[in-house]
Structure formats: structure tokens, C-alpha cells
Structure 1
Amino acid sequence: MKILVYGINYAPELTGIGRYTSDMAASLAAAGHDVRVVTAPPYYPAWQIAPGFSARRYATENSDGVSIWRAPLWVPSQPKGARRLLHLASFAVSSLPVMIRQLFWRPQAVLSIAPSLLNAPAGWLVARLSGAHAWLHVQDYEVDAAFKLGMLKGSWKKRLALKFERTLLRRFDTVSTISGKMIEHALNKGVERRNIVHFANWVDTSSIHPLDRRSQLKAELAIPEHATVVLYSGNMGAKQGLEVLATAAVALREREDIVFVFCGDGPGRIALHTVCGDMKTCRFIPLQPTEKLNELLNLADIHVLPQRADAADLVMPSKLTGMLASGRAVIAMAHQGTELHATVSPRGVVVPPEQLEPLVKAIETLAGDPVRRERLGRAGREFALAALSRDSVLGTFEQTLRVRCADAQQSPGTDAQSKGFKDVYEDIYERDEA
């Protein structure tokens, strides 16, 4: 099949949505499909254009059997509120001509990746005009998260944004997302159950695996051999709730046998470094290249996965898959009843989000109990092998995509799916059915 993938994040970004989108595209190409990607130059999580790429020019390249078309965008140094929206809109506008050009290629499936939802209209339009299957994959509900985390404010803005989101979601032939709770959100937003697919994030369990030795990074970072390493790796942004982890490092600063390692970048890095960066029990390092990822994840004796309470079930942290696959103990911050709690609690430790004392107690308890750490790490590894393996998840996705595209060619679209592009915007201003 000819498959067009449309999303703002892509390799060589080392973390988050870009890593999963590029892995998915490469897997589809390896399965024999003709795959094109329309994306932006890499900028995440540092919020700076990566060396060798331009924020101002269009470019094309080929990687892993995938043809990649890059459109320019504006990247703010402080991605908050209106500036973040302008950033997303800049790519939506600049990439539109590239997407329209793909009509002459006649794709059979168009896969739009959210975030950013602002790309979705163009993805849907190209699918409709080319007769392709329109598929929207939701990695997180950015509209809900933006308002709950205070990135955007205003009741009328929220009503308008949610109406826009609801209208778009209902137009796509297929809407996939990464967890059961996020599927419930799709249903609540009016997507028909028959149009929803569970497409979980995955991990390459052959490249991420437990080491039978100490990670080389422990010596490189001058961490004492006897010390227990508490690792956070990933984006340092608003949804992570990292402030409590930095405060925990301060609370445990007299414990020289517990060392905190913060690996990553993002808008919150400077504030975190200000709080605990000068302590001898803390290390700050940049994101590691792919070839060092397994060494990094095995540096941890304890992985810590913080998350703000108000982001629960709107996002499912992508970094969790690698943590579990590494065979190291995990502490997650989540309330009971959330999917993160349900995933981690049978094979890790879960504490309430944004609460210092339970987090500090959990770190101290696990630091003093290597037998329990080993048992939890083994359980996490077994779960990753059984439920999160790359070949299993992507193989099932590819089969589902084939079937749904074949079904679409055999049956006409519904009235709702075949409404015009203009109708999408007109519907935003209609009153919700009550």
C-alpha cells in the first residue's frame, strides 16, 4: 500500500512521539509498503532545531526505506500558551502545500499523528480527496491537557477548542490511541466504538534488555560503586511534574548512597538544575544517542516516573515501556483508578502524584531492598516481553491497517465521513446535541 504519515515529530528526535512515529514508519516500509512522511525538522525536547536541519527551508531525505518531506516551522524558546499554538500553527500552514502535493501520489492510507491536532484537518482533507483511509492516532489529548495544566485559559476558548477536537475526531475513519482510558476519552468525545483501535506504544525488547554487568555510564558519571541510582530520563516539561522529584533529591541530599540522575531536556530543565544541580548527589546529562539507550536505562537501580495528577489518563508516558523492558524497578506517581496505576502497581511501586513524603519513603525503601528491586524489575521485563514487544504491537497494527483499508475500498463512506472540508469548520459553531 501507499501510506502517508503526517506528524510534527519524527526521527532523529530521541524521545517521545517522534521516536514512535519514525519506528512505525520504518516498520511499515520493512513490511513492503511504500511510505512517505510529512514532518518538521527535529526540535524536541530541547525546543531548538537540531544541527544540520533548517527551520526555514523545505527539505527531503530518505531513511530506513521511508521518503521524508520536511516543512519549516517556528520554534519558541519558551513554549507556553499562545506561543505554543503559534508554533503548531506554523507547521500546519507550512506543511499544507506538501500535503496537497501528495494527492498526485494517490495514497491509500493517511495516518495523522496527534499532537498536533492542528494537522488533522489537512490529513483528513488529503485522505478524502485521494480516496484514502483517514486514520488519526492520538498520543495524548493535548486540548484537555493544555487547559488542565494551565497552558491555556478561558472558558470560551476551551469550549471552542473541545468542539473543534470533537468534530475532527468524528470525521476520521479510524481513531487509535494508546491506552484503555484514552479509548474511553475518545468514546466520550463522540467517536463511534467501531471506529476506535487500541494501538499501544511499544519497545524493542531485543535492544532494551537487562545487562549482566554495571552500566558503563556509572563510572563515566563518577557515581560511587555502592550507590543506588535513581533515574529520570525524558522530556522536562509541564506534564511531568518533575518539581517533586527535584525536591525529593534535596530531601535526601545527606544520603550519599542515593544518587539522582536527570537525563533529558526541555523548558523545565533550568529550574530543576537551580533546585538541585549543584548537589554532589545529583547528575544532569543530555539525552543519550540510541546506541547508548540501553546503557542509560540500565544505569538505574530505580526508575522514577513522575506525572502531574491533572494529566492522568490524558497522556500515557511513552518512557514507561523502556523502563519496564530494562528490568529495573519502577516508581510511578499515579492515583488509583488511572491506567498508569493499573499498569505499574502489579510490577512496581505507585505513590500519589505530587506528594513528597510518599515518594521519599518509596525511594528509601527500595534503595535498602535490592532483592525486592530485582523481583520488581523481573516482573516488569516479563510484562514488556508479553505485552509491549515491538514486533507484536507493530505487526498487529499493520494487519489492522490492511484490513481497514480493504474494508473501506469495498464499502462507501458514511454521510458523516463524506462531509466536505468546509463542513468541519461550520460544525464547530453548531450547538452540541443534548
Structure 2
Amino acid sequence: MTNILMLTLVYGPDTVSTANMMTDIAHGLSDKGHNVTVLTSVPHYNPSKEVLANPVMRSSWRKPFTESIEHGVRVLRVFMPPKRHKIWARAFDYIIFQALTTILAVYKVARPDVVFVTSPPITLGISGVLISWLRGGRFVYDVRELWPDVPVRMGLFRNPLLVKFVYWLEDFVYKKTAGISSIARSFNDTLVERGVPSKKLYFTPNFVDVDFIIPSESKNEFSSVHGLNNKFVVLYAGNVGLTQGLEILLEVAYGFTDNDDIQFVVVGDGAARKSLENALANSTLNNFRMLPFQPIRIVNSMYAASDVCIVPLLRGFSYDTVPSKIYTAMAAGRPVLASAETDSETAMLINESSAGVCVEPESTVALTEAIAFLYENPKRVVHMGDNGRKWIEKYYSRSVVINAYDEMVREIAVY
């Protein structure tokens, strides 16, 4: 039995996709016979009143951490305020989180065999290095986005010295790892180009619980509540962030104002939600609506109510991230319409599986033409959805990917 210490900024019941993924990985490794301890934060991404009613999910400066056993996993949650969108405020929260979790790792956790740290933020890698050095245990770094590529591409890091420093930090963290798991084959290619030995790299992609997300009837609770029955629904569900460029969906929606059958639905929250809401309020669109994150029990119905799931990305960002919503849509039997570079992991996934359409980024015309094509070809839509479901079951189900994590942990722990 391997003692695994997992450090992750988010964890269930937080509603963001990374939290769900980390929870499934921890539970899956526990089911494989490993002794798993998780260091994380209290829920801070739009937690429901029901979640916050549980004392385990609340902490404060007076009570900086809570402890519980969940699915055989020991979970230590430290204080974290609700997610803030200002960069300096989030940076401060990250520093406090890393300080508290490092202290707990030293004084409250048994000596680990493996220290498993997920990113972003890349600064968690420093915690992984420090904990591994102080407590022992081989350091595994789980790469879910290529940092600092994302903030540099967004223009958040502009000072040349700062950019040089964060890339040095990335290189330092990679050198201290015993293994690096990443969600994209293209990420591994990039890391090799940056000097990371290929023998350190493991491919552990995003995955879906195919027993929970299943193809279902489009007429359901979600569609009825939101007036979407008998409509062609273009759904975006997830982080309303700065890398998606969701404003383009407003432009695309204008192209379908004369067709009441086609409706656009954005579900989620994030740094760009307020500006998108303002743009929608100042528009004349009547075929576009925005909804908050939905409870877990509604997620399957939400995807089932859609006809196509859209995943727009700004130019260049498909090289740095692979949205997990793609896998969920495919598992739900719904085609994916993505805007991504042709040599990105996103494009490769969609093209290999024949589960959707991929167009060039930031092109209103290309997205409009693709939606019109899918609307006019319902049999193709069904066929793409079926292809996606089969592909997920074969390569990206929870059981398949948990096996990959299990093999990686066992290999690294006994190295």
C-alpha cells in the first residue's frame, strides 16, 4: 500500500471541473488500495448553502482547517475566502493556502511515499518540492494547463524579468520531480522540447464517469425549466474565463435571430462573466441566456438538453489547455464544436473520434457556418454524438484513466 499525499487547490464538493477530477482521482486511488490524504481548501467556487451548512466545509482564521474521512480518503481543508477575480487578491490567497497546507503536511500527515501536486497554479509546485524535501516521498507533478504559458499569453505577465523568472520557476519544478503526469500528449511534446526527459512523462488525460454522464432524452427537467424543449440548443458549460473569448458567441447568436429554433445557453461563472452579462444586457438578442453553475444532479440533464456543445478558445490557448467539458459532452452523446488550432490536443481529440467539428479560433463566420451545418444535418449530429460516447468509453472513462494513475504511482513509488 502506497501512502499518497495529494495537494490540490480545489476538491469536491466545489463545482469546478478540476475539483471533480481531483476527487475522482483520490477516490479511485483509494479504491486501488492506496492510503490517500488530501490537502485542499474549503469550497470557494460558488458553494451552495447546503454545502456550507456542513461544518467540515467551513473554516476561518480562528479555525484554519477541518478534517474528515470521505470515501476512505482523509481530507484536510484549509481556510480560503470565496474566489476573487483580482490578480493580487488571488495571489495573496494562494500564498496563504500554500503556507497552511505545507504546515499541515509537516505536522499532521504521515510520511508519504508519493507527493502528488496538481497545477495550476504553478506555485503549488514549490510546495511539492518543499514537502517532498521535508517529509520524503517522491514528487509527482500533475499538469492540467501549461503554466506560465497561459498568463503570459493573456498578457498578465508582461515584465521581461518576471516572464523570465516564472519560466525559470517552471523549469526548477520540473527538474525536482520524479514524474510528471499531463492531460495532453501535446503537453508532453512541449515539455520534451523544454528539456524534460521523456522517461519522466506520463499521459493521464481528463476522464468521465460514464455511469453518471450518460446519453439521455433531451426533454427533461433542465429543458422544461428553461423553456428549451423542441429547440436546437447550443450549450457552453464551464468556466466563463478570459481564455475562452465567449463574447464571440454573442456575435454568432446575432446570425440566428431570425430562427427561433436555435438557442444559445451559457452556464457557469468566472472572471469574464460580468462583462459578458453587460454585453448581453446591452444587446437586442432574445436567443441567448446565461445561467449559474448547476447542481451536480442537474449536470446530466443539462448536457442532454443540448444539441451541440460549443468550446471556443482564443487563438493560441488550445496549446496550453484541454477543456474537460469536451469529454463530458462526448460522454453525454453530444457533438462538440470547438475553435482550436488544428495541431492542438483539442483538435486531435475531436478529429480522431469523429465526435464533432473543429474550426479556426476567433472566427465568427466559421462558428456560424458550423452551427448552421449541424442544425441542418440532424442525422450527422446523432452520429457524431454516438462516436463521442464510444470513444470516451474506450479511452477516457474513469476506470481506464484511474488505472493509468495507479500504474504511474506504483512505478514511481518503488523506483
The equivalent of 1:327 in structure 2 is 333
Find the partner of 2:79 among 61, 68, 72.
72
1:76–1:208 distance in 2 versus 1, CA, 3 Å:
closer
Secondary structure of the 2:402 match is: helix
Distance 1:13 1:74 in 2: 13
Residue 410 of structure 2: aligned partner: 402
TM-score (norm 2): 0.92
Q: Which residue of 2 aligns with 1:170?
A: 175
Contact 2:311–2:339 under 8 Å retained in 1 = yes
Q: Distance in 2 between matches of 1:51 and 1:154?
A: 40
Q: Does 1:280 align with 2:290?
A: no
State which of 259, 264, 272 in structure 2 corresponds to 1:260: 264
1:190 aligned onto 2:190: no
Q: For each residue in 1:409-430, what CA deviation from the matched residue of structure 2 results, as whole angstroms up to 9, or x when unmatched?
A: xxxxxxxxxxxxxxxxxxxxxx
1:270 is aligned, of 269, 274, 277, to: 274
> Is 2:217–2:304's contact at 8 Å kept on the other side of the alignment?
no
Match of 2:39 in 1: 38
Distance change (3 Å), C-alpha of 1:372 and 1:315: same
The aligned amino acid for 1:234 is G
After superposition, residues 91-130 of structure 1 pair within 5 angstroms as 91-102=97-108, 105-130=110-135
In the alignment, structure 1 residue 300 sits paired with structure 2 residue 301: no
1:250 maps to 254
Structure 1 residue 45: Cα displacement: 6.6
Are the aligned partners of 1:247 and 1:275 in contact in 2 as well (CA < 8 Å)?
A: no
CA RMSD of aligned residues (A): 2.1
Partner of 1:388: 396
Partner SS state of residue 142, structure 1: coil
1:291 aligns with 297
Residue 102 (structure 1) shift: 4.4
* Correspondence for 2:226: 221
Could you tell me which amino acid in structure 2 is paired with residue 64 of structure 1? H
Alignment equivalent of 1:62, drawn from 63, 69, 86:
69
Aligned mates of 1:242, 1:383 — CA distance in 2:
27
8 Å CA contact 1:221, 1:283 repeated in 2: no
CA separation of 1:213 and 1:145: change in aligned 2, threshold 3 A: closer
CA distances 1:77-110 after superposition (whole Å, capped 9, x unpaired): 3233x3333332221123221122246x111111
- Structure 1 gap segments, 5+ residues each: 408-434
Distance 1:357 1:331 in 2: 13
Identity of aligned residues (%): 24
Q: Distance in 2 between matches of 1:63 and 1:207?
A: 19
Opposite residue 68 of structure 1, the aligned amino acid is V
Alignment TM-score, normalising by the size of structure 1: 0.88
Which residue number in structure 2 is paired with residue 371 of structure 1?
Answer: 379
The number of residues matched between the two structures is 404
- Give 2:15's aligned amino acid: L
Q: Indicate conservation of the 8 Å contact 1:10/1:21, yes or no.
A: yes
- Name the SS for the 2:190 alignment partner: helix
Using the alignment, how far apart are the partners of 1:274 and 1:207 within structure 2?
Answer: 35
Asked if the contact 1:261/1:284 (under 8 Å) is kept, the reply is yes
Alignment-derived partner of residue 422 in structure 1: none
What is the match of residue 341 of structure 1? 347
- 8 A Cα contact 2:316 2:341, kept in partner: no
Q: Post-superposition shift, 1:5? A: 0.3
- Whether 1:233 and 2:237 are equivalent positions in the alignment is yes
Counterpart of 1:203 (choices 208, 216, 238) is: 208
Question: Residues 76 and 204 of structure 1: is their aligned pair in 2 closer, same or farther, counting only changes over 3 Å?
Answer: closer
**Contact (CA 8 Å) 2:146, 2:321: kept in 1 or not?**
yes
Contact 2:240/2:271 (8 A) holds in 1: yes
The amino acid that maps onto 1:404 is I
Aligned to 1:423: none
